[in-house]
Structures are given as C-alpha cells and as structure tokens.
Amino acid sequence: MPAVRIIGGQWRSRQIHFVDMPGLRPTQDRIRETLFNWLTPFIVNACCLDLFAGSGVLGFEALSRGASFSCFVENNRQAVIELRNNAEKLAINPQQFAIVRGLVPHHLPTLPQAPFDIVFLDPPFHQNLLTVSIAWLVHSQLVRPGAIIYLEMEKDLDLILPKDWEIYRRQATATLIYQLVRVKI
C-alpha cells in the first residue's frame, strides 16, 4: 500500500498509508512544505476541512501542526477505511476529527464544526470539480469571513473566484497551480 509522510509538527516523519485509486495525487512534500509555511500564522487552533481527502495528508498535517479540528470528506469507501486506520495509528483524539463519506457537492450530510477557518480543496483534475465545489462552499456558508482556502489545480484551468475571495499566495509547477485564497472580512 502506498504511503506518504507527514513533514512537520508532532507527527513529523510518521507515514500514513492510502488506497491507490485513479485521480488520487497526494500533495507533494515540497508543495506541502510551502503550503504549511504559508499557513503558519493561521494553523494553530484552526478548524479545517479536507474536502477531497484522498490520503488525508493535508488534514493530518494540519492537525500535526496544531489545528484543533479536521473534517475529512471522501467518497471512496476503501479510502474512508484507510483514513480511519491512519487516525487510529496516530492516536488522534476523536474530538479533533471527523471522517465523512460523501460526494462533493452532492450527497453530503451536515459537516461537523462548520463553518471552517481553513479549507483544503484539491479535487481530481479534469473533472470540473473545483468550480462546483467553490460554489457549494459559498452557497452552504461553510467558510468563515477571513477563512483561508488552499486550491490545487491543473495549470490550464480557467478559474473564476467568488468576488469576495482574493489570492493571498500563488505558485506554479510545470503541471499545476497551487494557491491560497482568503475570504474578505
């Protein structure tokens, strides 16, 4: 079973395992390091949503670095089982996380701890999930004013952000763009 390591915080160097499935691309170590450097002023005690959790590495990394809560949303049954296994292996306090099986933006129960301070939005590429997920987050009022949203997307995606979202940080590789956006207060 493939694995990825947590790169910082209390579980630094611990590996989490994940189900190898089509479209799953755990965020690369180098990108995750940049992302969490950007998030340093915001992460402690933050309430986080890992919307297309997959491996769960972004939500677990957030908890490792001091977030108070992470809600993992994943549709694949085997991936949900592995998220639970990883939470158990890391001995995470059950009050600090929730794992929700559902398909974004359809078939989702009420998400615990909403609205969120930080949202990780890294859906499978080339499925038009980013635009509909952003619309769903806004419509469902799942982000607080001042919230930070991490977006990872294919480089050729033409994305229009909601009018009260502004780009805070942005970088690109040869194949993808990753950025933080902030909801205006």
| Mean of per-residue pLDDT scores for the chain | 93
- pTM beyond 0.85: the answer is yes
Percent of the residues in the chain that have a pLDDT greater than 90, as a whole number: 78
- Residues 106 and 110: their CA atoms lie apart, in Å, by 11
- How high is the pLDDT of residue 128? 86
pLDDT band at 25 (very low <50, low <70, confident <90, very high): confident
**Per-residue pLDDT at 23:** 67
DSSP string computed for 10-29 = TTTT-EEE----TT--PPPH
**Residues 6+ positions from 128 with CB-CB distance below 8 Å:** none
The predicted pLDDT at position 27 comes to: 82
Given a contact cutoff of 8 angstroms between Cβ atoms, the answer to whether 128 and 46 are in contact is: no
Q: Higher confidence at residue 24 or residue 54?
A: 54
Domains present along the chain, CATH in parentheses: 3-183 (3.40.50.150)
Helix, coil or strand: residue 64: helix
Using CA of residue 126, residue 36, residue 75, residue 161, what is the dihedral sign? negative
Higher pLDDT, 146 or 110: 146
Percent helix, strand and coil across the chain, each rounded to 5? 25, 30, 45
Least confident of 21-30, 34-43, 164-173: 21-30
The whole-angstrom separation of Cα 68 and Cα 66 is 6
Q: Cα–Cα distance between 185 and 182 in angstroms, integer? A: 9
Q: Is the pLDDT of residue 90 over 80?
A: yes
Q: What token pair was written down for 38?
A: 């950007």
Q: Looking at residues 47-75, what average pLDDT do you find? A: 96
Q: Are 112 and 44 in contact (CB under 8 A)?
A: no
Q: Judge whether residue 35 has pLDDT over 80.
A: yes
